[in-house]
Amino acid sequence: MATVELTADTFEKTVTSNGIVLVDFWAEWCGPCKRFGPVFEAASEKHPDVVFGKIDTEAEQQLAAAAQITSIPTLMAFRDSILVFSQPGALPAPALEGIIEKIKELDMEDVRARVSQEQQAGAATPEA
């Protein structure tokens, strides 16, 4: 599967309707982004069970701001609509493969339980 261009209109539906979604936040002027692009594209061909989306931070500034992108490239990974990985910086192919495998191996019941605990703890904390 090739990469897909994500926009503010397609981002949420893509993340919520697919099991694993990797998102590359990039820009045309970014040298490291251009080096990471082919690595990301090659991984998309090796993992047809994963959606590989790209967000052009210049064209989608509000989406990049909402995702709190401060450095590009930034890779985010979602599994079952939950953000499970976020890291700025271009990754070499072996590192990207390792991340994909770890995401596939996640115990999502455990992840959901942790997210629920964090949300409950956050709700119980009084605002300053």
Residues with a catalytic annotation lie at 30, 33
Peptide bond into 73 cis (omega under 30): yes
In order of 21, 48, 55, 119, 125, the CA distances from 4 in angstroms are 11, 12, 9, 31, 39
The contacts of residue 5 (CB under 8 Å, 6+ apart) are 53, 54, 55, 56
